[in-house]
Structure 1
């Protein structure tokens, strides 16, 4: 009997894969103040799921394609006189609504909508595990390859221009990475909780670090602890696994905030 035949081992490995991909991406989301951007991209993924099922193509491919289209649309329209928060609000909720309506037309396909909205990490199979880790490794390779350029473009666009970098190109690379993270995270935490896994671990790590690299590592550690703690909570109290993971992440954020408050008063 293979170790991967244990559903809990598969769930833990899937969660760790998502955590390692989402955490460093979440740092860029925090640094660039892109919280709503991540939310809009995640909400769009449910439309990708519906289209993938309707066209009989892999769900991962449909989710990546629609998330990428959403992210590119936001990037394109943001510089054309639209208020960013208004634009993201319109696109995020519209995409989610169109996705839910599209799912209702799939009468010949059995679909557990709650699993896509809130995740179903305990039902992850061998094929899902392969997709999650392939996507996660691709995100990590992409970030490692462009780390310094992405960091420079994020912290100081003028310096990036002076160094021969194009901040808009780096934005597109981040957009691609974000779409991949959203696609691999759907099975684990669902589209409604992906933004939490992007933001909370990065926010947890922030008070404890001095460099961007330390923050990415700290966020990854926090995300992995959240996954394992959430699975343990779900197993012990029979709670939904995806929301339980986010609850543990939120508890870590509270502890992190208390530590920051004590440190500032000391």
Structure 2
């Protein structure tokens, strides 16, 4: 019997993998005000799940493909002058609805829809852990490789052009990385909660970080601790694990807000 035979160990490894991958990437989502973009990309993944099951493909492959197509489509339409907030609202809810309808047409396939909507971290296998951590390493590698370029393009497009960078290329790297995070996260927190793991840890880390790099590291740490804390609370109180992980992240955010308020309050 090996360590990975324990389902709680597998769940913990999966949760930490998602946390350390999603949270640093989420810093760019927060800085660029792309919260709804992440939501739309995540919602599209349920259509990828349906297509994967229909054609007997790995769920990861289908979710990644459809999430990437959605992200690229939104980017292309936005560059043509469509209003970002309206476009994201339409595509996010449409993608989720189409995915749910597509799932209902699958015959002879039993699917636990709640597991894909809210995650089923306790059912992750060794293969799932391998996929999650391979994705996490790839995401962190992409961020480390393009960090300065992504940061410059995020701060100011004109500054990026002056530095010899193409902001559109950096947006494409960010889009690819976001789709990858969505694909590896679907098993842990589900399509409805992926955006929360992208946004909440960076938002909680922001008051404690003096530099972008420190914010990314702090966000990754908070993401990992949220996964472990949520898993422990879920096991202790018999609550849904995916939502409990998000609740743990939200608790970190509340603590950060209170801490910032106390530090900003006058003494006396």
TM-score with structure 2 length normalisation? 0.98
Between stretches 255-264 and 87-96, larger displacement belongs to: 255-264
| Partner of residue 249, structure 1 | 249
User: 4+ runs of 1 displaced by more than 3 Å?
Assistant: none
Give the C-alpha shift of residue 83 in structure 1. Answer: 1.3
Listed one character per residue, the Cα deviations across residues 110-147 of structure 1 (whole Å, up to 9, x for unaligned) are 11000000000000001111111111111111111111
- 2: CA distance, partners of 1:13 / 1:32: 29
Q: What pairs with 1:94-173 in structure 2 (closer than 5 Å)?
A: 94-173=94-173
Query: 3-state DSSP class of the match of 2:101?
Result: helix
Q: What pairs with 1:80-91 in structure 2 (closer than 5 Å)?
A: 80-91=80-91
Give the C-alpha shift of residue 79 in structure 1. Answer: 2.4
- 2: CA distance, partners of 1:185 / 1:71: 16
- 2: CA distance, partners of 1:80 / 1:261: 41
Structure 2 stretches lacking a partner, 5+ long: none
Give the C-alpha shift of residue 6 in structure 1. Answer: 0.2
Give the C-alpha shift of residue 92 in structure 1. Answer: 0.5
Q: What pairs with 1:43-58 in structure 2 (closer than 5 Å)?
A: 43-58=43-58
Give the CA RMSD over aligned residues. Answer: 0.7
| Partner of residue 216, structure 2 | 216
Give the C-alpha shift of residue 148 in structure 1. Answer: 0.7
- 2: CA distance, partners of 1:43 / 1:63: 10
| Partner of residue 6, structure 1 | 6
Listed one character per residue, the Cα deviations across residues 8-47 of structure 1 (whole Å, up to 9, x for unaligned) are 0000000000001001110000000000000000000000
TM-score with structure 1 length normalisation? 0.99
Give the C-alpha shift of residue 257 in structure 1. Answer: 0.5
| Partner of residue 265, structure 1 | 265
How many residues end up aligned between the 2 structures? 266
- 2: CA distance, partners of 1:244 / 1:56: 31
- 1: CA distance, partners of 2:59 / 2:150: 29
Give the C-alpha shift of residue 262 in structure 1. Answer: 1.3
Structure 1 stretches lacking a partner, 5+ long: none
Between stretches 198-207 and 152-161, larger displacement belongs to: 152-161
Give the C-alpha shift of residue 80 in structure 1. Answer: 2.2
- Is 1:74 matched with 2:61? no
- 1: CA distance, partners of 2:5 / 2:56: 27
Between stretches 210-219 and 151-160, larger displacement belongs to: 151-160
| Partner of residue 19, structure 1 | 19
- 2: CA distance, partners of 1:236 / 1:107: 37
